[in-house]
Amino acid sequence: MEILVCVKRVPDTAENEFELNSAGNDLDRDDLVYSVNEWDNYAVEEAIQIVDKAGGSVTVITVGDDESEEVLRREMAMGANNGILLSDDAFEGSDGLGVAAILKAEIQKGNYDLILSGAQADEGAGQVGGMLAAMLDMPYASLVNKIEAGDGKITVGREIEGGNQEMNEMDLPCVLSIQTGINEPRYVGIRGIRKVASVDIPVKGASDLGLDAVNVGEAGAKTKRVDYFVPDMGDGAEMLEGSTDEIIEKLIEKLKANGGL
Amino acid sequence: MTQIFAYIPFINGVAADVALEYPSAAKKIDEGASLTAVVAGSGADLDKVANEMTSIYSQVIKIDNADLAYPNAEVVRKALVNILPTDAVFLTAHDTFGMDLAPGLSVKMDSAYAADMVDFEGIDGTTLKAVRQELGGAVSTHVAVDISSGAVMTVRPGSFAPVDGGSAGGSVVDKSGDAGDLSTKRKFLEIVAAEVGDVDITKSDVLVSVGRGIEDEENIEIAQELAEAMNAVVSCSRPIVDAKWLEKSRQVGTSGQTVKPKVYMAMGISGSFQHMGGVKGNPFIVAVNKNPKAPIFQVADVGIVEDILDFIPELTEAINDL
């Protein structure tokens, strides 16, 4: 089985406290820690496990700048066989439809049986997988938390409300977005990264992909981010302050008053 | 005039709460817009929901087809592409069905796509201004959506005020004959029900709920000790289940259990909307998190900026000394 996994380099929500820049129109990105989108690690792990059983290869792909190469190498250190970086100044400012169109152009050059993405990334839209499937006229399922690969078909479980699971049978090739918890992504050590440090990762731009710059990037975007802001906190929580002993004393009074003790 | 269509999800003949929220969202998009409910399914359940929607919506489109007996997003999408006008502004909930349906629908409709809207600020020309969140709710953004060739948007359940239904006096239009060929390469098989765990967290008045801040499986024990001291039960957020430190039946959230405790102790939980979507009944919420900007502090009653690994054992000891 030839599997392609779409990944993304994102600000790490576990490692950063997000602040706005002085102009108030973007995040203060100077000291942000970036990593591979958490959901994508589950997608890559799942792809590797399928190929371990059924044979084939795993290719990881991303749309991003030069620094996105590091996330491709990280996923190759997990066990992905190939990496492809789609990078061009013309791609900047693409909306979800733009990113999907860029990926589609490269995917059509290959012969993939299965295309995976994370269920969502930093923007929380969960959009690229479903768009890609529609553009390629392939069946799609989102929020997948179980895969049983068969011959020409695949059985997938989707996570739906209340912890229930919706089972579907799909024809291959297809596109799936992967939910966290489907597996336990393997650990990647420094030695693993070093092993793939010199593997060639091809970089392709708009002209390599036959893309017209007016259809991607900011020019082609129908949905554009205007600014960032910190929402009005409303009343918010009453913050308890002081020494830990003082805080605990106040908290115990409040718990008693509200039925907690 | 903007034509807005709202997709009504339902289970066993009961419409989701979002059915009462779309009218408020539509008004914020365009006060003068027409608003039509779209109900797809099969048989008596469909008819029941379609008729109920006439008390909330002046127009209700019904799509009845045996292939829609289970709402397989791929099948629903095919029907919608044949029925919606090409410049429609289509709304669906940002739930597990909407996330399955909407991105691909925007491609087939050749429309703009915008996900998980929490507010709308009106249309200027053909540009709709809207609000959404990024980075797990840590920051908000304004987005400009070009709706000149229509738009497909998901709206966050609970973000728009529910309307009082009852007086719309609408009528049902049966568009089943326009649905077209509904064959797809994805076939629904069955629903596998969630596993029942050893503890029913929905029955406890007090929950000690742990999130990423617990850092390690070994530390779950300190939460259990606090729960014992408070005569409470330990629940958790999604990352704890993903890491297999607690079983799925202990997970609070839209993809886990819905709980209605009196007191909810959110320990090292950031407070994503998917998590808080499972906390109902307006409990007294105590949030302890070392990140002062954690979104949980917006919804909690009492907030404490501390590392739970230090704080929980001290709190347990103090309660045991009472």
- Write out pLDDT tens, residues A169-199: 999 999 999 999 999 999 998 899 999 999 9
The residue to which tokens 């029941």 are assigned: B48
pLDDT interval class at B36 (50, 70, 90): very high
In a domain, A152, yes or no: yes
pLDDT interval class at A231 (50, 70, 90): confident
CB within 8 Å: A169 and B189 = yes
Q: Which of B100, B143, B322 sits opposite A223 (nearest CB)?
A: B143
> Which of A104, A137, A142 is the best residue to mutate to test the B interface, defined by the most B CB atoms within 10 Å of its own CB?
A142
Q: Which of A18, A125, A157 sits opposite B135 (nearest CB)?
A: A18
Contacts of B189 in chain A (CB under 8 A): 155, 167-169
Paired with B120 in beta bridges are B130
Q: What is the mean pLDDT of residues B96-101?
A: 97
Q: What is the pLDDT of residue A232?
A: 65
Among chain B residues, CA nearest to A100: B107
In terms of domains, do B43 and B84 share one? yes
Q: What is the mean pLDDT of residues A62-84?
A: 97
Percent of chain B at pLDDT > 70 equals: 100
In terms of domains, do B156 and B236 share one? no
d(CA B28, CA B130): 9
In a domain, A242, yes or no: no
Q: What is the mean pLDDT of chain B?
A: 96
In a domain, B191, yes or no: no
In terms of domains, do B29 and B158 share one? yes
B41: domain CATH number is: 3.40.50.620
Q: What is the pLDDT of residue A26?
A: 86
d(CA B292, CA B299): 13
Q: What is the enclosing helix (H) or strand (E) of A225?
A: strand A223-229
In B121-140, which positions are buried (b, 16+ CB within 10 angstroms) versus exposed (e)? eebeeebbbbbbbbbbbbbb
Q: What is the pLDDT of residue A19?
A: 85
Strands A174-178 and A114-118 come out as parallel
In terms of domains, do B8 and B110 share one? yes
Q: Do the beta carbons of residue A115 and residue A229 sit within 8 Å?
A: no
In terms of domains, do B147 and B233 share one? no
Q: How many CB pairs under 8 A join A and B?
A: 264
pLDDT interval class at A233 (50, 70, 90): low
Q: What is the mean pLDDT of residues A156-173?
A: 96
Q: Model ipTM?
A: 0.94
The helix/strand/coil state of B244 is coil
Q: Is the peptide bond before B292 cis (omega within 30 degrees of 0)?
A: no
In a domain, B271, yes or no: yes
Q: What is the mean pLDDT of residues B15-36?
A: 97
pLDDT interval class at B13 (50, 70, 90): very high
Q: Which of A45, A67, A53 is nearest to A188 (CA)?
A: A45
Give the tens place of pLDDT for each residue, A89-118.
999 999 999 999 999 999 999 999 999 999
Q: What is the mean pLDDT of chain A?
A: 94
Among chain A residues, CA nearest to B212: A14
In a domain, A142, yes or no: yes
Q: What is the pLDDT of residue B288?
A: 97
Say whether pLDDT at A142 is over 90: yes
Beta strand ranges found along B178-297 (DSSP E): 186-192, 206-210, 233-236, 263-267, 284-288
Q: Do the beta carbons of residue A124 and residue B117 sit within 8 Å?
A: no
CB within 8 Å: A225 and B303 = no
In a domain, A239, yes or no: no
Q: How many domains does chain A have?
A: 1
pTM over 0.90: yes
In terms of domains, do B149 and B8 share one? yes
In terms of domains, do B158 and B13 share one? yes
Contacts of B255 in chain A (CB under 8 A): 159-163
Q: What is the pLDDT of residue A165?
A: 96
Q: What is the pLDDT of residue B165?
A: 78
Full domain range(s) for residue B259: 201-320
Q: Which of A115, A134, A96, A100 is nearest to A223 (CA)?
A: A96
In terms of domains, do B218 and B164 share one? no
In terms of domains, do B233 and B156 share one? no
In terms of domains, do B94 and B239 share one? no
d(CA A36, CA A10): 6
Residue A20 DSSP label? B
Contacts of A27 in chain B (CB under 8 A): 139
Among chain B residues, CA nearest to A258: B284
Residue B74, chain A, CB below 8 Å: the answer is yes
CB within 8 Å: A166 and B112 = no
Burial (CB count <10 Å: 0-12, 13-18, 19+), residue B203:
exposed
Residue B249, chain A, CB below 8 Å: the answer is yes
pLDDT interval class at A234 (50, 70, 90): low
pLDDT interval class at A148 (50, 70, 90): very high
pLDDT interval class at B136 (50, 70, 90): confident
Paired with B38 in beta bridges are B7, B61
| Region label for A235, one of left (φ > 0), alpha (ψ between -120 and 50) or beta (otherwise) | alpha
Q: Could you tell me which residues come within 8 angstroms of residue A243 by beta carbon, excluding any fewer than 6 positions away?
A: none
Give the tens place of pLDDT for each residue, A4-57.
999 999 999 877 888 888 887 888 988 899 999 999 999 999 999 999 999 999
Among chain B residues, CA nearest to A182: B242
Say whether pLDDT at A226 is over 80: yes
pLDDT interval class at A134 (50, 70, 90): very high
CB atoms within 10 A of CB B314: 14
In a domain, A171, yes or no: yes
The helix/strand/coil state of B87 is coil
Q: How many domains does chain B have?
A: 2
In terms of domains, do B34 and B81 share one? yes
In terms of domains, do B285 and B137 share one? no
Full domain range(s) for residue A103: 2-220
d(CA B26, CA B57): 11
CB atoms within 10 A of CB A238: 14
Q: Tell which A residues from 142 to 171 touch B, by Cβ distance under 8 Å.
A: 142-143, 155, 157-171
d(CA B60, CA A102): 38
A126: domain CATH number is: 3.40.50.620
Residue B252, both tokens: 């609070």
Give the tens place of pLDDT for each residue, B243-266.
999 999 999 999 899 999 999 999
